[in-house]
Amino acid sequence: MAYYLGVDGGASKTAALVTDDTGRPLGDGIAGPSNHLRVGIETAARNIERAVNKALVKADVASREIIWTYCGIAGSDHPAHRQEVVDSLSVFFPRGNFTVDNDARIALTGAIGFGPGVVVIAGTGSVVVGRNAAGEEARAGGWGPIVGDEGSGYAIARAGLAAILRAYDGRGPATLMTELLRRDYDMKPSDLPRFVYAQTTHADDIARLGKLVIDAAENGDAQAAEIVARSGGELARAVLAVAQRLGLTSSEFPVAYVGGAFNAGETLLAPMRNGVLAEAPRARIAPPVHTPVEGAAQMAIRAATNPRPTRAGA
C-alpha cells in the first residue's frame, strides 16, 4: 500500500494526516504552532515533526514508507521564507520527497477540491484564495495584523477592545463588551494595555477575545454588531476581488469558509454572504468539503506523480 502525508501548519497549531492513495485517513497528529515568522524556525520545525510523528504512530506507518509529504505552512509565501522551512525540514525528510507551500492553497484544495472556487480563511488572520477552471489562482488579503487581516479574529478583537477603551474614556458609547471583558476574562479596561503590549502576548492571544465581540453582538450590543457586520463586509470584498480577477462573478462557483472566526456562525456569515451575493449572485457559500490537512494529503498524492519544481522540497 502507498502512503501519503499532509501537514497543515498554522499560527495556533499544526495538524498532520497520513492517508492511503485514495485519501482515506489512517492516522493524525496535532502539535503546537508552526508559523516560523511568529514562533521561530526551530520551534516551527519541532512542532511539524511532533505532529508528523504522532500521525505516523497512529497509522502504524514508518516515515520511509511515505511516498510524498505536502506541507502547507503559514508564513511560507515568500520564496526566502519557504526556503527557510524547506531547509529546516530537510533533515526530517532526507529523501527530499516533500513540498512546502503556503497554508492557503491546501485550505483551498480541502475546501473545494481541485476545481474552480474560492475559500475564505478567517482565523487569527484572514486571506482569500481562489482558482478558476483554467487553473489560474488569485488571492486577496493575508497581509498580517499590522497592515491587513481585515475580518479576522484578531481584527474583530482589536476593534472590540478599542471600543471598550473609547467607552472607558468617555469618547464613545457604553458597550456590553466592557461587562463581558470583566465577567469572562477577569479584566478591567485599564488592564488592557498590560495584556495587549506584553512581550508574551501574540496575535492569536488577542484574537481569542474576538469571542466577546461576537457574544455582545448576539446580545444586541450596537457597537459589537457594527464591528462584526463591517468584518463580514471586508471578507466579502476580498472574495469579490479574487472572483473578479478569475472571471468567476457571473458564473456559479463555491465559496467555502474556514477558520475559527466563523465559529460566530450567521453573525459573521450573514453580512459576508450578503456582500458576496450582491455582486456574484450565483456564488454558493457553504462549509468546506474537507479540512485543510485533508487538502494537503490530496495534494501530496497529486504531487507524487506531478511535483511542482518551484515548490518542491528537493
202 DSSP 8-state letter = -
Residue range 200-227: mean pLDDT, rounded: 94
Domain residue extents for the chain: 3-110+291-305, 114-288
Tell me the fold of 114-288: Nucleotidyltransferase; domain 5 (3.30.420)
CATH homologous superfamily of 3-110+291-305: ATPase, nucleotide binding domain (3.30.420.40)
Q: State the pLDDT at residue 267.
A: 95
**Which residue has cell 490530496?**
298
- The number of angstroms, rounded, from the C-alpha of 228 to the middle of its chain's C-alpha atoms is 18
Average pLDDT, the chain: 92
Look at 36 and 307; give whichever has higher pLDDT: 36
Strand-pair partners of 15: 8, 30
Q: Which pLDDT tens digit goes with each residue over 259-314?
A: 889 999 999 999 999 999 999 999 999 999 999 999 999 999 999 887 554 444 43
Percent of the chain with pLDDT over 90: 75
With CA atoms as reference, report the closest residue to 128 among 268, 290, 137, 146: 137
Residue range 182-198: mean pLDDT, rounded: 96
Question: How do strand 66-73 and strand 14-20 relate by DSSP bridges?
Answer: unpaired
pTM of the predicted protein model: 0.86
Q: State the pLDDT at residue 50.
A: 95
Banded model confidence at residue 85, pLDDT cuts 50, 70, 90: confident
Sheet holding 126-131, edge to edge: 137-141, 126-131, 117-122, 253-258, 283-286
Residue 310, SS3 per DSSP: coil
Cell numbers linked to 217: 453582538
- Tell me if 50 sits within 8 A of 29, measured CB to CB: yes
Measured CA to CA, the distance from residue 112 to residue 118 in angstroms comes to 8
Banded model confidence at residue 124, pLDDT cuts 50, 70, 90: confident
Determine the Cα angle at 299 with ends 90 and 75, to 5°. 55
Banded model confidence at residue 79, pLDDT cuts 50, 70, 90: confident
Q: State the pLDDT at residue 7.
A: 95
160: number of CA atoms within 13 Å, CB side? Answer: 31
Residue 83 has pLDDT above 80, yes or no: yes
Tell me whether the CATH fold assigned to 3-110+291-305 matches the one assigned to 114-288: yes
* The dihedral sign for the CA sequence 221, 174, 180, 227: positive
Sort 129 into a burial class: Cβ within 10 Å, 0-12 / 13-18 / 19+: buried
Q: Which pLDDT tens digit goes with each residue over 140-189?
A: 998 888 898 999 999 999 999 999 999 999 999 999 999 999 999 999 99
Sheet holding 98-101, edge to edge: 25-31, 14-20, 3-9, 66-73, 98-101
